Amino acid sequence: MSEIRKIINTCKTLQTEYNVTPCIKYLSSKVFPMDNGQHFILTRDGFMIYDITTIKQVLFNKLSKKLSKWYFEDNENVYTLIMDPKKPLITKHAINTFEGFKHTDRETKPTDKDINGVNMMLEFINDVICSGNKDLFNYVLKFLANIAHGNKNQSCLYLKGPQGIGKSTLTTFLINHVYGDKICINSNADPLLKGYNRQLMGKILVVFEELPTFSKSEWNGVSSVLKDMITADKQHYNEKYLKSVYVDNLNNYIINTNTEAIKDSNGRRYCILDLSTQYQGKHKYFSKLYDICFNDNVGRCFYNYLLGIDISNFNSQGDMPITSNKMDAYAELLPLEYKFLKHEYLFKNIGINTTVDTLYKQYENYCSNNGKNAKGKILFCKKLKEINLNYYKSNGSNKYRVSHSTLLNISNKQNWVHDLDNYRVKKFTKQERLDEITTMVTELKREYKQLLKLKDGTVLNTMEKSDDYFNLE
C-alpha cells in the first residue's frame, strides 16, 4: 500500500485547480487498465494487480473526480499482459510481466578472480550436482543456458537427496547472482495444492524447495497441475478474489527435496539428477565455495558463460540423459503388468504364446506371490495394449502371440531392466531362431486350416482375413 500512497501524494503535489495534465501524464506511467477488466500498477519492486472495485477504493476515490473521469471514461488505452524476455516492460498495447535479467553488460572483461569463481562453480555442478556424469553435466548446462536465453524448458530438474550435500547451493547462486531475484522465486507447495499461483507470473525460474511427501489423493491433483506447468505455453495465474490472468508461461522448474516428492518421476518431464554426497557436512568446502562464487561479478561472468553455450539444437526432453536415479525410478514405478511380463517371460527368454485366460491366470498368480492386488482382466489387457500388445481371436479363443525379441525391444525402449537385475540377453543361434519361426508358422498353418472349416466366416476378425495372415504356404 506504500506505493498507492506514493501515487496519491504525487498526484496531489502535481495537480492544480485548473490543470490535471501533469497528473494524467504521471498516472499513465503508473496505472494501466487491462483487457481482462483488471488494473495493473507498476511499482518500484514489481507490480500489483487490482480489480475495479479495489482500485477505486484504494486509489481513485482519494483523487480528484477529474482524474477518475479521465481514467475510467476518457482513457482509451487498454493493455494486454505478456511475458517476453525479448521485449521492453511497456509497449503501446502491452505490459510485460518479465522484469529483466539481472545482468545486461556483456562488454566488461572478467577478471581472473571472476573466471576462477566460474570454474569453481562448474566443478561443483559436475562433481556434486551431476556426480561426474559428463552427459548429465552438459545437459544441465544447456538447461541453464536455455533459461539465460529467455526460453522455456519442457522438463524439470529434480534434485532429491539427503540434507547437507548442496542441493540448494546451485539454485541460490542462480537466483541471487545469475538470473536475478526479480525474475526467480523460491516457492512452497501452495501453488500446486491450492491453485493460487499468481506469485509465479513473470518468473523465469521457479524453485520448489523441500516439497512435502504428498498423499495419494493429493498427488492425483498435483501431478496434472505440475505437468501442465512444466510444458504449457500459456497458463492461468490465479489469486484469491481476483480474476485469473492468462499469459505466456516461461516458468522453468527446479525441485530441491529430501523426500520422494514426485510420484511419477519416471515420466519424460523429470530429469532426476545423480547427486553426490562427497561434500556432505564439509563446511569448509561450502564456506570456500560461497566466499569465492557468491557475488555479482562471478554471477555476471557465469551468466555470460551460459549465453555462449550453443543451444540451437537443444531439446530438453529428447536430450535428457538416463541417469542412475532415473533407472531406479523406472524400476520402482514400473506397472505391475509389465513387471509380470519382465520376470515371467523376458527374463526367462521366452515369448508369449497362450490364451488371454491363461496369461491372465499367470498374472494373478504372480500378483498373489508378490503380495499385490491384480487388476481385472479387462484392465490387464488394456494395460498391455498401451505397449502395442494386442490379443486376437483364434478358433473361438482370444490369444496373445508375442516373440521374445518384441518383448526385448519394448523393454529397451521403456527401460524395464535395471543394472541390479543382472539380466543378460540370451544370444539365440540361427537354428534356434529358425526353430522359433518354424513353430509359429506351423501353428499359424494349423489355425488357418481350422478356420477354413468354419462355415460362418463372420467369426474371423480383420487380422485373420488379411492376406498377410493367410499367405503362409
Closest-CA residue to 129 (of 114, 139, 115): 139
Beta-carbon count within 10 A of 389 CB: 20
Rounded Cα distance between 212 and 224, Å, is 17
The residue type found at 214 is F
The owner of cell 473361438 is 396
pLDDT of residue 322: 86
Locate 250 and state its grid cell: 516461461
Residue that wins the pLDDT comparison between 389 and 322: 389
Angle at 460 between CA 456 and CA 463, to 5 degrees: 160
324 pLDDT higher than 50: yes
pLDDT in tens, 150-203: 999 999 999 988 888 999 999 999 999 999 999 999 998 888 888 889 999 999
Rounded Cα distance between 15 and 30, Å, is 16
The CA–CA distances, whole Å, from 122 to 141, 298, 371 equal 9, 12, 47
240 pLDDT higher than 90: no
Let me know: does 38 contact 49? Beta carbons within 8 Å: yes
Question: How confident is the prediction for the chain on average, in pLDDT?
Answer: 87
Domains and CATH numbers, the chain: 2-78 (no CATH), 112-320 (3.40.50), 330-470 (no CATH)
Give whichever of 219-228, 316-325, 375-384 has the largest mean pLDDT: 375-384
| Long-range CB contacts for residues 280-283, cutoff 8 Å, separation at least 24 | 280/162, 280/164, 280/165, 281/164
- How, if at all, do strands 392-394 and 397-402 pair? antiparallel
pTM of the model: 0.76
Using pLDDT thresholds of 50, 70 and 90, give the confidence band for residue 465.
very low
451 pLDDT higher than 70: no
Let me know: does 257 contact 211? Beta carbons within 8 Å: yes
Percent of the chain with pLDDT over 70: 89
Let me know: does 234 contact 247? Beta carbons within 8 Å: yes
448 pLDDT higher than 70: no
396 pLDDT higher than 50: yes
pLDDT of residue 390: 93
Distance from chain centroid for Cα 169: 21
Using pLDDT thresholds of 50, 70 and 90, give the confidence band for residue 463.
very low
Let me know: does 167 contact 161? Beta carbons within 8 Å: yes
Rounded Cα distance between 335 and 367, Å, is 12
Question: Of 81-95, 139-153, 224-238, 414-428, which range is least confident?
Answer: 414-428
Question: Of 52-66, 94-108, 247-261, 452-466, which range is least confident?
Answer: 452-466
pLDDT of residue 447: 66
Let me know: does 160 contact 213? Beta carbons within 8 Å: no
Question: What is the SS3 assignment for 49?
Answer: strand
386 pLDDT higher than 70: yes
295 pLDDT higher than 70: yes
**What is the pLDDT averaged over residues 451-462?**
54
Q: List b or e across 319-331, with b for residues whose CB sees 16 or more CB atoms inside 10 angstroms.
A: ebbebebbbbbbb
pLDDT of residue 473: 37
356 pLDDT higher than 90: yes
Report, in angstroms and rounded to the nearest whole number, the Rg of the chain calculated over CA atoms. Answer: 31
Let me know: does 296 contact 104? Beta carbons within 8 Å: no
Let me know: does 225 contact 218? Beta carbons within 8 Å: no
The owner of cell 537385475 is 421
pLDDT of residue 266: 63
